[in-house]
Structure 1
Amino acid sequence: MTDTTAHDRTTVLLVYGGKSSEHPVSCLTAAGVLAAIDHDRYEVLPVGITSAGRWTLVPIDVAAAMKTVDGQLPTVDDSFPEVVLGNGGVLHRVGATTPVATVDVALSLMHGPYGEDGTIQGLFEMAGIRYVGSGVAASANGMDKALMKTTFARFELPQGPWQLVTDSDWTHHRDETLAGLQPLGLPLFVKPARAGSSIGITKVTDPADLPAAIEAAREHDPRVVVEQGLSGVREIECAVLQGRDGAAPRASLLGEVRMLTDGFYDFDAKYLPGEQVALDIPATVDDELQAAAQAVAVRTFEAMGAEGLARVDMFVTPERAVLVNEINTMPGFTQYSMYPQLWQATGLAYPDLVDELLQLALARPLGLR
């Protein structure tokens, strides 16, 4: 681990942006982390990846100032110097002979494909860099809702009914596929298998709308997950943090998402909330239900082989059964995000949470774990 003094700070490569549809959300997350990180302990190198995939070295003040303005979400400016990441964590400016720095630990804040799905985690592994969060397999399985739910079933985690619609299913067997979805009933939630932040999701209450909902999801991913809409459930979330020195994962207090309109917790409700949604932090639950949901969240974290952090989203039925909806291995850190707010309510402040994640990453070995 790097010795950190006032004159020898740990160098953090903070990567954000990327080529996915969640690029703007990643920018908001990066600004939030830059506001929280201890700059006396950490030397931060913000690297914004443009929508075209160009890596740029962004001044800290520019990256920290990203925010939503008049409903417009931020993006990575393409005008800054291009950089590449080399073996051993050496960051090079393209065309320059002297390296920018050698990275001690990477913190990828990219959401969605190429950032949350094991892609950049594989790059860090090959370059021999320690990094925050889950490894390649857990990230990939956590990103693909069908693989995720298959893992849930393998470990006998409780969940609602669902089905996968592949590209081949929809292209060559459309009528049979639609017929096979009928047992799920109504309403249905139709989702891209490998997208986050509720992008591309449609709630279907009329069977005639199902084909259009699948097409909408396919604009983001040819693999589509169709889930049974559960009636009367509460949407409960739990933030999970890896334990120290092999200890069990830690679970936060619970939070609850309550919609104030007839809609659902979609992209706008998450990042442009207005009066659409209420986030109860902590949730109003009794001790028995809280313990049960925390136990399910920890089991989910362990079943997926997650590392560092994850947010586990669950449903609580009227009969008080706890069902896993999904795990997010790189939850958002914006001002509206559940993950840091849940830890704040549990007693771990935002700056301390960022520090803990970096320290967990610095402490784990390189290579296969």
Structure 2
Amino acid sequence: MEKLKVGVVFGGQSGEYEVSLMSATSIINAMDKSKYDIVPIGITKDGRWHVFLGDVSKIQDGTWVDEAIPAFLPPDTGYKCAITLKDGIETRYHLDVIFPVLHGPHGEDGTVQGVFELMNIPYVSSGVGPSAVCMDKVYTKKLLKQEGLPVVDFKVFYKKDLPHKLTEMVEEVEKSFGYPCFVKPANLGSSVGITKAHDREELKNAIMHAAEFDRKLLVERFIPAREIECSVLGNDDPVASVPGEIIPSEEFYSYTAKYFDGGKSKLLIPAPLAAEETEKIRNLAVRAYKALDCTVMARVDFLISKITGVAYINELNTIPGFTKISMYPKLWEASGLPYKELIDRLIELAIERHHQKHALKLTL
């Protein structure tokens, strides 16, 4: 049987560039080389695309760029390949499916998904619309709330109003839910740019800090909560994994705590929940996944109040982390689906979704 040619796309113009390198390295190392011919495609921090054919370890340490060959993926259905030009010689790397391992803006937000749609090629991700919505924490919360799903109280502000309306923003937050509270850029993941503010001065600094990363800012009510995550997999009939719980090494699960704390944060898999709580989380995860029209995969993050026991949906990640310590694959492994088989299943789902979409009429 002929091997599938899989383009693994990593890096990108995002604050989560380094996380993407770690995820891509784990995926490439785990992929069954008897089934797949892998074409690593790296995007630099300034948005340059390359094919990289060197040692996989150089992806994670960031030195892959030194050996990479400039490339482009034509948004033309007649190509379905990555094209390089070196020393006057053009080389085409055919692609049957693309596995984007891009976290954050310009990767998880529907932008590259649009390129893959124009190429008419299967890709391991939700489509353009769901990717864009889930990347934007504000849109996510508004749509989930409209669907009757539980979300924490929040306020939305805009960078254009800074600094002249900063005091008004602070007063609005204080009047609505007070301290402490969380301040977040609307369109980043991995806790980049997030601050927990305990007083007025910290809130002002947190809003200005978040505005360095996004034009739209989210401020959320703080609730003392357990952090629970659940992995979802599928297209029309998605299924949820066992939930897991995060015990962060810091006051909350920050970027540093997630990736660079030397294993001090704890992952409890499965989460120590009563059977009925576990089923509630799994059901809510699938409902949220369907409500936002996700496909292939997503990780749904929850906050369970330590006071009331109410479970709130925090966010959905359509391209969750795939590092060796990441929750998404770990939760599936605990649910009976090992890492390598999970990758196979994700590729199958991407191809299935592509075939379904390709079968639709485009004209009358």
4+ runs of 1 displaced by more than 6 Å?
Answer: none
Give yes or no for the alignment of 1:120 onto 2:109.
Answer: no
TM alignment of 1:66-105, pairs within 5 A: 66-67=59-60, 74=62, 76-86=64-74, 87-88=76-77, 89-94=80-85, 98-105=90-97
Please give the per-residue CA displacement for 1:4-27, whole angstroms capped at 9, x wherever unaligned.
x1xx21111110001111111100
- The letter of the residue matching 1:256 is E
| Partner SS, residue 94 of structure 1 | strand
Give 1:158's aligned residue.
Answer: 150
How far apart are 1:171 and its partner, in Å? Answer: 4.6
Contact 2:249 2:261 in 1 (8 A): no
Counterpart pick for 1:302 among 286, 290, 297: 290
Give yes or no for the alignment of 1:53 onto 2:42.
Answer: no
Give 1:70's aligned residue.
Answer: none
Counterpart pick for 2:337 among 310, 324, 348: 348
Identity %: 37
Counterpart pick for 1:200 among 179, 193, 196: 193
The two structures have a TM-score, normalised by structure 2, of 0.92
Q: 1:276 to 1:186 in 2, by over 3 A?
A: farther
How far apart are 1:63 and its partner, in Å? Answer: 2.9
Give 1:38's aligned residue.
Answer: 32
How far apart are 1:82 and its partner, in Å? Answer: 0.7
| Partner SS, residue 82 of structure 1 | strand
Contact 2:249 2:257 in 1 (8 A): no
Taking the aligned partners of 2:226 and 2:220, their CA distance within structure 1 comes to 16
Taking the aligned partners of 1:274 and 1:97, their CA distance within structure 2 comes to 45
Give yes or no for the alignment of 1:362 onto 2:351.
Answer: yes
Taking the aligned partners of 1:225 and 1:114, their CA distance within structure 2 comes to 20
Contact 2:13 2:106 in 1 (8 A): yes
Uncovered stretches (5+) of structure 1, i.e. residues with no partner: 68-72
| Partner SS, residue 239 of structure 1 | strand
Uncovered stretches (5+) of structure 2, i.e. residues with no partner: none
Q: Which moved more, 1:96-105 or 1:109-118?
A: 96-105
Counterpart pick for 2:202 among 182, 194, 209: 209
Counterpart pick for 1:226 among 196, 219, 222: 219
**Superposed CA RMSD:** 1.7
| Partner SS, residue 56 of structure 1 | strand
Taking the aligned partners of 2:180 and 2:359, their CA distance within structure 1 comes to 43
Counterpart pick for 1:338 among 309, 327, 333: 327
Please give the per-residue CA displacement for 1:335-357, whole angstroms capped at 9, x wherever unaligned.
11000000000000000000000
The two structures have a TM-score, normalised by structure 1, of 0.91
Contact 2:85 2:91 in 1 (8 A): no
Taking the aligned partners of 2:17 and 2:201, their CA distance within structure 1 comes to 32
Please give the per-residue CA displacement for 1:185-238, whole angstroms capped at 9, x wherever unaligned.
11111111111111111111112211111111111112111111102x111100
Q: 1:368 to 1:147 in 2, by over 3 A?
A: farther
How far apart are 1:274 and its partner, in Å? Answer: 2.0
| Partner SS, residue 162 of structure 2 | helix
Give 1:16's aligned residue.
Answer: 10
Give 1:269's aligned residue.
Answer: 257
Q: 1:112 to 1:240 in 2, by over 3 A?
A: same
Give yes or no for the alignment of 1:28 onto 2:19.
Answer: no
Equivalent residue pairs, number = 352
